Every structure is written in C-alpha cells, then in structure tokens.
C-alpha cells in the first residue's frame, strides 16, 4: 500500500472540523428555458411565474424553480393532496433535476457521454406512497435551478405545498469585506468570486460543490490565499493542511486530492506541481498569520516534496520525470513550466527554512541547478522559453516569470508579450490564468492584471453565471474537459482568485 497515514495529524484535522452554517432559502420564481442564439450556450432562463404555494402538479407536469442565486444544500418539501376526497390512490413519482446553469437542466441524462462518471449528473427520482408527506433528498446538491417533473401516470393532482433548501457553508457571505470600487463590472466579478469561495468552503475546501466535492491542493492553495483576506477561516485552512500532511502518497508525496470522508482517502497517483504546492500552503499560512508553530510541525513534510522531485530530475536534460498538472491544455509539453513551479516553491521553502534556522544547502543547490536548467530553455533570439520538445506555450512563459530566474526588466518584457504569442498552447482554465495574473503583478504590470481580470471574468459575468466556473472559453461556450459541457462545474474554487486580486490591485 502506497498510502502513508499519520494518525496524529489526521486527528488534528478531525478536531478542527466545525459545524456548518445553515440558512433556509426558498425559490423566488419559476422559469422557462428557451433557445436563444444570443445567450450563453444558446439557452436562456426567462421568468415565468412568481411562486405561490401550494403549486399543483398533475401527471406529466414539470416546473423549473429558480432560487435566484447559486446555492449548495439539501432539498426538502411537502406534498399534499387535493382535500378529503381527492386522494393520492397510488404513489406519486417525482423526478428532480438540478442545474447550476440552464444546459444542465435541458441536457438528457440518457444521452450523457462524458468522460466523468454519470453519477455526477444531478438528478433523482423518488416515489411517495401517501400524501400528505414530507419529502427530502439526502444528497447535497449545487444548483440555482431545480426542475421537478411528475413522472407517474395517475389521474389525481397533487400539491407541492412547500419547497425549501437548507444551504450549507463553513462561512457566511455577509462576513466578507465589501470591495471599494465604483466599477460595476469589478463589483460583480468580486461578488461572484467571494460567492464561489463561500460555496466551496464546506467540511473541507472543495474544488466544486457540484463536482468533485473534494479537497484538491491546487485549488486549496488559491482558496486559502484568497480566504485570508475574505473570510479568514484559519481553522479550515489548517484542517486542510493537516489532511494533506496526514495521508500522503508513495514516497511521502502530498496527494493531489483528499476525499473528505473519514478515513480520508487519497489517490495513488500524484501531480508533482500539486505536491510542491504544499510548500506554498505552509508559506502563505505563515505570511498571513505570523504563526510559526504549524511551519515547525510540518516543515519536514514540505521538505520531502522537494526531495521527491529532486530524485526525479535528470540533471543533463533538465527533465523532471514526474507528471505535473499545470493546466488542461491538450498536448501541452509541461517540462519547462514544472521547472518554474519547482523553483517558485523552493524559494518559499528556503524562506521557511531560514525562518526555522534549518540547513538550507540542499534547497539552495536545487534552486541553482533548476534555475540553470530552466534558463537553458530560454531563447535569447525570441525572448521566449521553449521546451525540450521545442514547444512554445503561454504556460512556459508564465512559470518562467514566476520562478524569478529572469532579471526584472526581462521578466516584465516577457510577461507583457505572453498574450501576443501565436501558439495553440494557451491557458485554458481560470486556474492557470491566476498564475498569469500573478506573473503580471510580480512584473509590475498591475494595470494589465486588472484589465485581464475585468475582461475575462467580465465575460463570465455576462454569460449569466452566479459564480466562477471551472472552465470558460468565450470562443467555445461548449468546451468541456470531459466532452460533456453539462457536467462542467459552474462554481469552481480555482476560478475565485479575483477575490484575492481585486482588493490587492485596487488597494494599492
């Protein structure tokens, strides 16, 4: 078994679990979803009726309830009959379909051919033998729209006499600071971002509350970084760091993700950039709290991430023989970018080592070696980084900038031209775009960073999202890493970093 469990750390993670905050919310109106070529994914939800309970449902009826905002929670409802003499004489069957966005409601589950398990499709069918009755679905759903369709064939009507959702989150949106700006677009982007952050804060920092509902360290790094200034949920950040440290994969590498239920499960495979980001999580924790005790406790685990990667570097070719994530860009040669990640995180490790008075020789040597290797992929002529296979990608440039191997003016020049590179290997996810924004920021290109956020996330807002989606390509609204856009997550933690950047960029 390649998984290494540290019970003491997992116990600490368990002790940091807190009850979730709950709110009861009700649908505001019903909508119809119509085809509209000008709308995102060619679908538009248009207001139908203001809701007045009870709502009558006859066989075959379907109603789409709109909760007016993205919610994460548990549905419950009451069914009643039509009075003493119009009784429910056979069981009522109701089909529930949940959607964060209209396509999720209209796509047929029978035709689903996506690469992810179809169990993620948010639909259920239930039967209710007698009315009146109280119904509830035990699964937690993430949605704005809920379609209820009566699928039995009995002649009597029934009444849906109430419908509510108990929403859950570790934090309360009203505790987030208000963004000081008059720019309505930036306000909207900020609101979407803090909403996304909130929706993903549950028993752990989830990547997405609809799917995969688990703790990924690539997401955690960005969520925690954003959260210090928004909700300041240090308990949850610490809990998640302990979870990763408490259940590591082979060679004691930090797992890419943790399944939150007890005992925490981890996947056997790793992403080496994700493992290295454990260092960043510790680094950011110290930077934001000044608390050194957690760093002392987990420094060795962080240090081990360097060692594990170090063992796999071919010092001749500069190739790290491990799999990184970097981004969802098909056929991307990630070898240059991962060197950048390695240097970026090792510089943080070095700083932590200095803080603790550790021997930093190995770290420094690794930084030097890796920096030389990375610079060997720099083409003085074009001023761009390439890869061992000769590929020019946006990703290589971004991570080269973030590694700090270039002189400041070199970095700024490179950074300024990233978006002008003619290459099919472009950033695909808001996750990768965060690192682009960081590269702009550290290169002093703050206006460009703000403009990029306003442009890209502004289009997300225009498309009608309530939160920040996992993936958003204005050129292809049906893009999906899973070949099924309906399974895409419309509320995804790694896209929420405007919650970090906007206060920073506007406050300076």
Nearer to a second copy by Cβ, of 248 and 363: the residue is 248
CA distance 99 to 121: 9
Taking CB under 8 A as the criterion, which residues in 57-116 touch a second copy? Answer: 81, 83-85, 87-93, 116
132 binds a second copy (CB under 8 A): yes
Cβ of 125: how many Cβ atoms within 10 Å?
Answer: 11
Per CB under 8 A, the list member of 18, 32, 118, 287 interacting with a second copy is: 118
Nearer to a second copy by Cβ, of 53 and 265: the residue is 265
Least separation in angstroms between residue 139's CB and a second copy is 6
139 binds a second copy (CB under 8 A): yes
Q: Which stretch binds a second copy (CB under 8 A): 12-20, 119-127, 333-341, 395-403?
A: 119-127
452 binds a second copy (CB under 8 A): no
How many residues lie near a second copy (CB under 8 A)? 45
> Cβ neighbours of residue 352 under 8 Å, at least 6 residues apart?
279, 282, 283, 286, 295, 299, 302, 358
Nearer to a second copy by Cβ, of 81 and 345: the residue is 81
Nearer to a second copy by Cβ, of 122 and 336: the residue is 122
Nearer to a second copy by Cβ, of 262 and 321: the residue is 262
Write the interaction track for a second copy spanning residues 367-406; mark x where CB under 8 A is met and - where it is not. ----------------------------------------
CA distance 318 to 314: 5
Nearer to a second copy by Cβ, of 212 and 438: the residue is 212
Helices and strands in the chain, H and E counts: 14, 19
Nearer to a second copy by Cβ, of 127 and 413: the residue is 127
Write the interaction track for a second copy spanning residues 22-61; mark x where CB under 8 A is met and - where it is not. ----------------------------------------
Nearest C-alpha neighbor of 440 from the set 383, 386, 397, 387 = 397
Q: How far is CA 401 from CA 393, 408, 466, in A?
A: 13, 9, 32
Per CB under 8 A, the list member of 26, 56, 60, 127 interacting with a second copy is: 127
293 binds a second copy (CB under 8 A): no
Taking CB under 8 A as the criterion, which residues in 185-224 touch a second copy? Answer: 211-213
Write the interaction track for a second copy spanning residues 152-191; mark x where CB under 8 A is met and - where it is not. xxx-------------------------------------
CB 374 within 8 A of CB 336: yes
> Cβ neighbours of residue 77 under 8 Å, at least 6 residues apart?
134, 135, 136, 160, 161, 162, 163, 164
CA distance 224 to 211: 19
Tokens of 196: 């996304």
Least separation in angstroms between residue 90's CB and a second copy is 3
CB 59 within 8 A of CB 102: no
Nearer to a second copy by Cβ, of 139 and 504: the residue is 139
Tokens of 244: 């990763």
Torsion of CA 317, 321, 324, 330, to 10 degrees: 70
Least separation in angstroms between residue 499's CB and a second copy is 27
> Cβ neighbours of residue 293 under 8 Å, at least 6 residues apart?
none
In DSSP terms, 5 is beta-bridged to: 247
Least separation in angstroms between residue 199's CB and a second copy is 16
CB 93 within 8 A of CB 127: yes
Per CB under 8 A, the list member of 72, 194, 215, 266 interacting with a second copy is: 266
Q: How far is CA 218 from CA 255, 277, 341, in A?
A: 10, 7, 12
Q: Which stretch binds a second copy (CB under 8 A): 16-24, 118-126, 180-188, 412-420?
A: 118-126
CA distance 128 to 353: 62
> Cβ neighbours of residue 105 under 8 Å, at least 6 residues apart?
33, 64, 97, 99, 145, 147
Looking only at Cα atoms, what is the longest distance across the chain? 86
Least separation in angstroms between residue 264's CB and a second copy is 9
Write the interaction track for a second copy spanning residues 302-341; mark x where CB under 8 A is met and - where it is not. ----------------------------------------
Indicate left, alpha or beta for 86 from its phi (over 0: left) and psi (-120 to 50: alpha): beta
Nearer to a second copy by Cβ, of 298 and 484: the residue is 484
Nearest C-alpha neighbor of 236 from the set 255, 256, 260, 263 = 260
Which spans of this chain sit near a second copy (rule: CB under 8 A)?
1-3, 5, 81, 83-85, 87-93, 116-120, 124-127, 129-133, 139-140, 152-154, 211-213, 259-261, 263, 265-268
């Amino acid at each position: 078994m390649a998984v290494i469990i540290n019970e003491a750390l997992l116990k600490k993670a368990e002790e940091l679990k807190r009850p979730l905050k709950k709110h009861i919310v009700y649908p505001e109106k019903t909508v119809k979803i119509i085809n509209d070529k000008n709308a995102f994914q060619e679908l538009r939800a248009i207001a139908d009726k203001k809701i007045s309970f009870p709502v009558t449902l006859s066989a075959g009826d379907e109603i789409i309830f709109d909760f007016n905002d993205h919610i994460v929670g548990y549905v419950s409802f009451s069914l009643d009959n039509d009075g003493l003499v119009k009784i429910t004489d056979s069981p009522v069957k109701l089909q529930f379909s949940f959607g964060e966005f209209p396509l999720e409601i209209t796509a047929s589950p029978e035709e689903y051919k996506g690469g992810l398990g179809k169990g993620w499709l948010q639909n259920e069918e239930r039967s209710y033998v007698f009315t009146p009755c109280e119904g509830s679905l035990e699964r937690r759903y993430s949605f704005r729209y809920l379609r209820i369709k009566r699928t039995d064939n009995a002649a009597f009507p029934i009444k849906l006499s109430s419908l509510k959702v108990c929403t859950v989150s570790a934090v309360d949106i009203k505790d987030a600071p208000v963004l000081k700006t008059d720019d309505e677009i930036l306000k909207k982007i900020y609101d979407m971002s803090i909403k996304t952050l909130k929706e993903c804060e549950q028993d752990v920092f989830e990547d997405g509350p609809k799917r995969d509902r688990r703790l990924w360290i690539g997401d955690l790094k960005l969520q925690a970084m954003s959260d210090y200034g928004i909700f300041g949920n240090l308990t949850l950040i610490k809990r998640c760091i302990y979870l990763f440290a408490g259940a590591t994969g082979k060679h004691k590498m930090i797992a890419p993700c943790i399944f939150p239920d007890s005992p925490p499960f981890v996947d056997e495979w790793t992403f080496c950039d994700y493992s290295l980001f454990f260092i960043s999580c510790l680094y950011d924790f110290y930077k934001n709290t000044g608390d050194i005790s957690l760093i002392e406790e987990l420094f060795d685990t962080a240090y081990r991430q360097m060692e594990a990667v170090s063992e796999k570097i071919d010092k001749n070719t500069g190739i790290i023989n491990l799999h990184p994530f970097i981004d969802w860009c098909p056929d991307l040669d990630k070898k240059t970018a991962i060197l950048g990640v390695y240097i970026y995180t090792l510089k943080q490790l070095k700083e932590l080592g200095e803080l603790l008075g550790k021997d930093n020789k190995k770290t420094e040597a690794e930084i030097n070696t890796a920096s030389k290797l990375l610079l060997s992929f720099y083409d003085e002529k074009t001023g761009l980084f390439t890869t061992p296979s000769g590929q020019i990608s946006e990703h290589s440039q971004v991570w080269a900038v973030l590694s700090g191997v270039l002189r400041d003016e070199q970095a700024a020049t490179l950074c300024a031209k990233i978006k002008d590179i003619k290459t099919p290997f472009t950033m695909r996810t808001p996750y990768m775009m965060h690192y682009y924004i960081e590269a702009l920021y550290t290169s002093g290109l703050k206006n460009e960073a703000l403009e990029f956020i306003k442009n890209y996330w502004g289009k997300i807002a225009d498309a009608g999202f309530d939160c920040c989606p996992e993936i958003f390509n204005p050129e292809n609204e049906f893009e999906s890493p899973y070949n099924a856009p309906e399974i895409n997550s419309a509320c995804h933690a790694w896209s929420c970093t405007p919650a970090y950047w906007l206060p920073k960029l506007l406050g300076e």
